[in-house]
Chain A
Amino acid sequence: AQSVAQPEDQVNVAEGNPLTVKCTYSVSGNPYLFWYVQYPNRGLQFLLKYITGDNLVKGSYGFEAEFNKSQTSFHLKKPSALVSDSALYFCAVRDLSGGYNKLIFGAGTRLAVHP
């Protein structure tokens, strides 16, 4: 079965420092991986996805993610964190079991960026 794991419940970063939010995956076949962000009292917003090709994927709001097949990881990164990046981040993997297209989400990582 497809699954993703986010090993950190919370990540704390000082504003201006680089940030990394970790995600590892377990899939059969080629992985389709996603990152979503959820701001307080809002729905999830799509950040970026990896389908195939370049291992470094660029997304919205200056975020990028690095796909590493040997480590089965898809970590979210940003070179310089902003206080406004504070939110809940979800990693997800596409699941085609049953013949239909679904996403399996991780438990989420709360990012806190301190001034």
Chain B
Amino acid sequence: QVQLQESGPGLVKPSETLSLTCTVSGGSISSYYWSWIRQPAGKGLEWVGHIYSSGSTNYNPSLKSRVTMSVDTSKNQFSLKLSSVTAADTAVYYCARDVGVFDYWGQGTLVTVSS
């Protein structure tokens, strides 16, 4: 059974860079796309972007200028960096396996942007 676990700081200061890592267990990260999806409190889901195990990426156009994703196949991990954050980036961030649908999800991690 594939399992995903997000990790990273729960508090980030405005204008700084949010950094999260997703660790995949129970299966290989290779040959799949992996997505980041976020959800502000009380609001809907927003796709941030995805990365293939080879490193190719596709980002949400609304966030593209601030997003960088990377993958480390040796550690079965992939990562998200979101720069120049504001309070509007406060959300629960989920990582998920992306096979054209999101079939496995992490439990989510709350990231708060505040000074």
Is chain B a partner of chain A in the same complex?
Answer: no
